[in-house]
Structures are given as structure tokens and as C-alpha cells.
Structure 1
Amino acid sequence: MNDWLVAVGYLFLHPILYVAFIFAIVLGVTRSRRERNDFHVRVYDHFHELRYMLPTGMGIGVVASLLILLLGLEIPLEAIYLVGIVTFLLILTGKTSWLTAPFIFGTSYIILWILDAFSIEVPFIEGASLEELIGFAILSSLMMMAEGLLVLINGSKKTSPAFLKSRRGLRVGAHVSKRIWVIPMMVYIPNGLFELPFTWWPVLPFGSGQLLPVLVPFVLGFGFVVKSTLPEVKIKAKGNHLIWLGLFITTCAAGSILAPIVGLLSMISAIIIRLWLYMKWRTEEDEAVHYYSPSSKGIMILDILPGTPSEKMTLVKGEVITAVNGKNVQNEQEFYVALQKNRAYCKLQVLTTAGEPRFVQGALYEGDHHELGIIFVEQEKRWDESIVM
């Protein structure tokens, strides 16, 4: 057991882990600046993206590692190197939407397939035989399903509000999801491909040979701007799409056991389908009616600042405040004027996201009147046209 614990510790020697860490910090700083520019307040701190980087990915990594062990999949060392290189290059673009499993693993697989098929020599990446790529093809398809699960589980959690400019030049609200995840996964490389770091390094017997377990941090990302509905609805639907894509590619990749060319075709298909989904999602959002826009029924809530009185009163994004202390309101100024009618207590009439009325009430304390923590859609703020996924 001690050997395994020490082996796990060597996860922290992998450079891509620190590259992902730095990238998550950069995403947080950039988002915080945009939020201050839009709302004069930072909605989430600089470490918001960092908090989502590991927890869910660790659980998925454990399950995937067990599947790989049970299936007895051997992963070529060259594949691990190339995945790290492709991941690093995609991180340099600064676009989380490019850190998708088909782009990272599919591209790596295609490169290795071409290197072997045409006997091309590249420094540090000698190329793996087509038979050795079978395990990598199945690993790649598992990572595609993992991506869908990550998007489904926490891609829509605590998204960042933003102001954008519509085609008609109107100021409208949106929610931005930018995520980067690290999935620590135990992969099994045929012993003898490289020297063991120490004599105590664990080696698993399997079949007629031995497999060397190596803990590797794989990185995935997701980026999307939701304009047409609640982020929970839209982004979870995207997660389901990606899970189905992963299941389809897994079925296809399993065929590489019979014919290596099937693995190549499955990876090419994964990239094409993922590109098609990306363009389809963006087109749908661009053509849809904006959900977060001024309402004739009252004031729409774009978001609620965490830890504020509004969060304690269970107000949520997408709801419309129609009355405050019995007085109908249509803009932010009327909202705060009505709020002053009772300095110790407030009662709000709200339309839920399902269009049903409900009442919200809560005690107010000194200073709360101007610090309720509500971001309204109709606020006079600048829009941001520079949000890039």
C-alpha cells in the first residue's frame, strides 16, 4: 500500500497539472475583471474555477482507472506523451471549448496512427503499432463519456453573469460557463518501455507479461455562453449530448480490436461530430430569443451574489420581481424606492422561472437596502462583446 501511495505522489511531477492550475487561475482573474466591468462588483473570487478543477474529476478518474484495469487495456507511452503535448497547445489558445476529449485524444490517436502507418519518425514520439493503439482508442472514447458527465454534473453550477449586445443593439443578459477539469487516472503501460524510477515502483502482473501503473492527470474543458434559457437547462442538455457521443464512439472504438482502421475512423468521426455540435449549439443560441432581457411584468433577475440577503431570501436567477412591499415595480429605481417603505422588513412578489407567482420576504438590517446582492437585467451597464470560449 505504501508503494501505491508513493506512486500516487508522483502525479504531482507531471507538468500538465501545473499548466492546468495556472490556466484555472488565469480564467478566474479574467472573469473577475469582466464581472467588475459589467456590474462594478466581483460575483465570484479568482479561485472559483480552481474549486471545480479536481473534485468531480477525481471520482470519474477512479472509475475509469478500474475499467481500464478490468479490461486489461495497455496504453502506449507515446500516447501519454502526445496527449500532454496536444493539451498544452490547446491551453495556449485560451479557449476552454477547445479542451474537449475528441480534440485532445482524437487528434493524438490520429497522429500516432499516421506515424505508424507511414513509418514517420518524430523525436520523443516514435509511434506505437496499430495493435498497441487499441487500448488508447477505448481510453479516448471513455474520456469522451467522462467529458459529458463533467458537463452534466457541474458545467452549469454557479455560472458567471454577463451583459451582451443583441443583434438589435439592445443590452441583454447571459450566463458564461468556463470550466477546466483535471482527471487523475491510473493507466497501465507495458513494463520495459522506460526505466523504473525506483526499485520499489509497483508492477502489476497481467497475462504473460507485466503492466506498470502510472498515474496521469488528463485535462478537459468546457466553454459556453447561454442566452436563450436558464444555464441549468441548456448546459445539462449539452452534457447529455456529449455522453451519447461518448457511448457511440466507444462502440465504434471497440471495433478496432477486429480492424485497426476502425479505431482511426471512430476518432475522425468523433472530431467531426464534436465540431458539428459546437457549431450547432452556437447557431441555436445566436438565433434564439434572448431569455435575460427586460420584462414588461417587472424586473428580471440576472443573478444573485453569493452570501447576500437576496440569496438568503431564496431568490434565483431568471425570476421576475413584480412588486416590492405591495407596490408594482418596473425598473431598478422603483425597486429601491419601494424597498425604503419598510426599512426593517421587505416583501417581494416574484414570478418564478415557470411563470408562477410566489412571495418572498425577509428581515433587513442597516445597509442591506443597497446591498441586497441582486443583479438586474435592465441595469445601465456596458455589454461585453469579447467573451471567447
Structure 2
Amino acid sequence: MDLVVAFGTRIAQAILLGLLNPFYWLAIVFIAIQYRRQMLLERRLYAVKMRSWLEQTWRAWLGGLVAGIIVSIAAVGLGAVIPSSVMILLWMITFVLVLFRVRWICLAYAGGALVLLQLILRLMPDWQPAGWIASWVTDLRDMNAAGLLVIIALVHGAEAWLVRKQAARFASPFYMDSKRGRIVGGYQMNMFWPMPLLLLVPADDGLTLPWIPLFTEGLGTSGWAFAALPIVIGFSDMTYTYLPQDKAKVTASRLYMYAAALLAAALLSNWWYPLAPIGALVAIAMHEWLVYQSRSEELGRSPIYTHDKRGLLIQAVLPGSPAEELKLQPGEIISKVNGIPVHTKEALHQALRANAAFCKLEVLNGNGDVKFVQRAMYADEHHQLGVLLAPDDNVSYVAAMKPLSVRQLFLSPWRKSNKRLEQASEEQMLS
């Protein structure tokens, strides 16, 4: 019983200090700004609000909290240890990296850089700096690199789960130029999660663990305490060749693969240290490969959000609209309305006006099968049933994707130029 009370007290203290950490709250503010910018962009493009940015921020916070609890239990059980000074170094390196590219906020980059820095310090054993830096250098030299790599692997496993569960729900439609000069539809999928981690730290006056951790051998400590490490994980990608749920499934599978490969490298490096720097390179290089693979795959496939001779393709459905009530889905094609074939937005409007009190639609689903849906129409409802159609050549704005900088987070998310809407967003990135 005393052991339970002691552990509960230490964990409660660590959680309280974590909640007081400004990094955690800055991360939530960063996420809220991202979602508000997305909402403003949707209003500019489509004159509608697809969803509430407050709801998105809430869901991101809740998802990150659940994932953080799961990862913390696994990390503490394995004995993945990060000294407090190394945690501060992680935050500092992350802050510097995010100034250059927002997607580098990912723990893989800062953690991989720390493991490589540890290798450099171990190759210079005679270098002993003076002052307060000396303790940081000592802690970094003694850090268990395998434990840090395991934490990175667990975090990306949790990220894969969150992508699979939430990314498609918050996908945002946009219009863009294709490589052939046509205007096509697509989806930008931006998700960021603040993840509070609870990790073991060495403490000479700390607790004795009732189990034998895997990654604490040789650290020379008589006890352990808990410390909170708030981090931000994120997924941002764009697709014009997949439905959002299919893109999320593909990306989640690759992230699971990445997490498994990194976990294997971490376990091997715990057995033989020279494999740790290789694991750090795997963490960084394979992460970049995921970005390159997604980009190459999109370029090699044909856009799907375009109209064809069968009718008008549905790119998105507004929440709470008649289209949602009719169970219309993105990727389906409206072939006929009230018995009238439709191939343009003007034809759709005319067909809907042919019977102002009722509409009957002939729709082709993703498999090409025909389904019929119908309902009564009311005067105050969306003039287009609440569907956002794939673009034609007469759209007013086109999103031009470009890398996102920290400065652009606080600027307007668009700039009108030759009917272009240049969205400050990271093209096809994973973090």
C-alpha cells in the first residue's frame, strides 16, 4: 500500500508540473491557430464553415491526451529514461528546428539529432566544459540512446493510430492546379496533437521500481522519479488521388511500419551502442522518405476529384445539410436530378428548380453502382443540397501549396493574385 501511495504522489507531482509547463499550452495555442486558419480558408473558398475550429482543437487535445497516457505506460514499463536536462535540450532543439520548417516539430528530428550529438561527445571524452554546461554534457553522454529511440517509436505508433482514427474526419477540401494545367479538387489533412508524456528520470532519493526495466542498466542510480515531457505530434498531408479515409489508411500503415523499424533499431542498439547512431539516422531519413513517398505517389496517380461524362462528382458534403441526410458521400457522382441529366453546376440548379418541393437523385457510388435517393425540399436549405462539387474551370480561387513557416501562422492564410489563393501550408508532409 505504501508503494502505491508513493508512486501516486510522485506521478501527481509530475502531472502538476507538466500542466504548469508553458510548452504544453503554447502547443495548444499553436494547434488552435492552425485550425482557425483552416476554417477561414474554407469560408473564403466556399462561403461556408465546414466545422468548428474549437471542436477540432478539443478533439486534438483529447486524442493527444489518450495517446500520451498509452505511450507513457509503455515507456515507463520498459524503463525508457530521459534525464531532465536532456528534456530541456529536446525542447530547445525542437524550437530551433520549427523556425525553419513547421513539420520538423516532430520528435524524430530533435531526438535523432540528440543521439548523433551524443555520439560526437563520446568521441571527444577529454572535452569537459566548465560551468552549468558541464552537467548537461555529462547527462547527454550518459543518456540511454536506446530508450530515447524507443520513445520516438512509441510516439509514432500512437500517431499512426490517431491518423487512422481522426485524420479523415478533419480533411479540408481545396482546389488546385494539376500537373497538366487542369484545375482539380483535393483534400488537405492537417492534424496536430499535444501529447503529454510521463517518463522515468534518475533520482538518487527516488523510488525503487518493483520491476526490472529494460533500458536502465548501467545508469548508476539508486532511485527513480517521474517527469512530464509535453510534445507535439502531427500529420499533414494532401491528396487529390485518394479519398480522405483511404489516404489516412495508407499513411497510418506506413507510420506503423516506421514505428516498427525504429523500435527494432532501438532494441538492437540497447544491446550494442554503435547501432544507436544508425537508429537515429533511421529516425530522420526514413521520416523524410515517408514525405517523399507520399509526394511521389500523388504525382504518379490520376486526380479523382474531377467531373466526367457521367455527371458531377461530389468532393465534400457539408455537415447538417440535405446531402448528409441523403447519405451522399465524397467521390460519388450525381448523374440525374429529377430525371434530368446534369453535367454542369448550372444544369444542377435548373434541375433542382424543376421541382421546388421535392428532389430525386440518381447517384453513382464509388463502385459505379446506381443508387436512388430522394427527399422533400425546403425554402431555407442550401441551394446545392449542401454538396461541394469538384471544380470546373470557372472557380474563383485556387490554392497554391507552399511550405509553412512560423511567421505565416500569424498571417492571413491567403493572398489573392490572378485568382490564386496561396495557402501557407506544408505540401505533402508527415511529422
Q: Same fold (TM over 0.5)?
A: yes
2:162 matches 1:150: yes
Which residue of 85, 98, 101 maps to 2:92?
85
**Deviation for aligned residue 1:289:** 0.8
| 1:115 match | 121
Contact 1:61 1:184 in 2 (8 A): yes
**Alpha carbons of structure 1 residues 147 and 19: separation in structure 2 relative to 1, 3 Å:** same
Measure the CA separation in 1 of the matches of 2:153 and 2:71: 11
| 1:18 match | 25
Which residue of 142, 147, 150 maps to 1:138?
150
**Alpha carbons of structure 1 residues 245 and 369: separation in structure 2 relative to 1, 3 Å:** closer
Corresponding letter in the other structure for 1:153: K
| 2:72 match | 65
SS at 2:223 equivalent: strand
Measure the CA separation in 1 of the matches of 2:70 and 2:191: 21
Measure the CA separation in 1 of the matches of 2:110 and 2:334: 45
Which residue of 186, 197, 203 maps to 1:174?
186
Q: Deviation digits for residues 89-142 of structure 1, max 9, x if unmatched?
A: 3444463x4333422322233234433443565848434235633322222222
Q: Gapped runs of 5+ residues in structure 1?
A: 197-202
Give runs of aligned pairs for residues 178-217 of structure 1, distance below 5 A: 178-192=190-204, 203-206=206-209, 209-217=222-230
SS at 1:47 equivalent: helix
Contact 1:106 1:268 in 2 (8 A): yes
| 2:40 match | 33
| 1:348 match | 361
| 2:398 match | 383
**Deviation for aligned residue 1:173:** 0.2
Q: Deviation digits for residues 320-356 of structure 1, max 9, x if unmatched?
A: 1111111111111111111122222211111112222
Query: Once structures 1 and 2 are overlaid, which stretch shifts more, 85-94 or 101-110?
Result: 85-94
Contact 1:76 1:133 in 2 (8 A): no
Measure the CA separation in 2 of the matches of 1:238 and 1:46: 24
| 2:340 match | 327
Could you say what the CA RMSD is over the residues aligned between the two structures, in angstroms?
Answer: 2.4
Given the two structures, how large is their TM-score scaled by the length of structure 2? 0.81
Corresponding letter in the other structure for 2:157: M
Corresponding letter in the other structure for 2:207: L
Measure the CA separation in 2 of the matches of 1:233 and 1:70: 34
Which residue of 43, 54, 60 maps to 1:53?
60
Give runs of aligned pairs for residues 227-238 of structure 1, distance below 5 A: 227-238=240-251
**Alpha carbons of structure 1 residues 374 and 45: separation in structure 2 relative to 1, 3 Å:** same
Measure the CA separation in 2 of the matches of 1:44 and 1:298: 27
| 1:364 match | 377
Query: Once structures 1 and 2 are overlaid, which stretch shifts more, 357-366 or 318-327?
Result: 357-366
**Alpha carbons of structure 1 residues 115 and 364: separation in structure 2 relative to 1, 3 Å:** farther
**Deviation for aligned residue 1:227:** 0.8
Corresponding letter in the other structure for 1:272: A
Measure the CA separation in 2 of the matches of 1:72 and 1:58: 21
Q: Deviation digits for residues 293-312 of structure 1, max 9, x if unmatched?
A: 12211111111111222112
Query: Once structures 1 and 2 are overlaid, which stretch shifts more, 366-375 or 237-246?
Result: 366-375
Q: Deviation digits for residues 21-49 of structure 1, max 9, x if unmatched?
A: 12112212321232233223232333354
**Deviation for aligned residue 1:212:** 0.8
Contact 1:141 1:249 in 2 (8 A): yes
Given the two structures, how large is their TM-score scaled by the length of structure 1? 0.89
Corresponding letter in the other structure for 1:142: L
Contact 1:331 1:378 in 2 (8 A): no
Percent identical: 25
Q: How many residues align?
A: 379
Which residue of 288, 299, 310 maps to 2:301?
288
Measure the CA separation in 2 of the matches of 1:10 and 1:243: 31
**Alpha carbons of structure 1 residues 352 and 241: separation in structure 2 relative to 1, 3 Å:** same
Corresponding letter in the other structure for 1:12: L
Q: Deviation digits for residues 186-218 of structure 1, max 9, x if unmatched?
A: 1010115xxx9xxxxxx5322772211122222
Contact 1:321 1:349 in 2 (8 A): yes
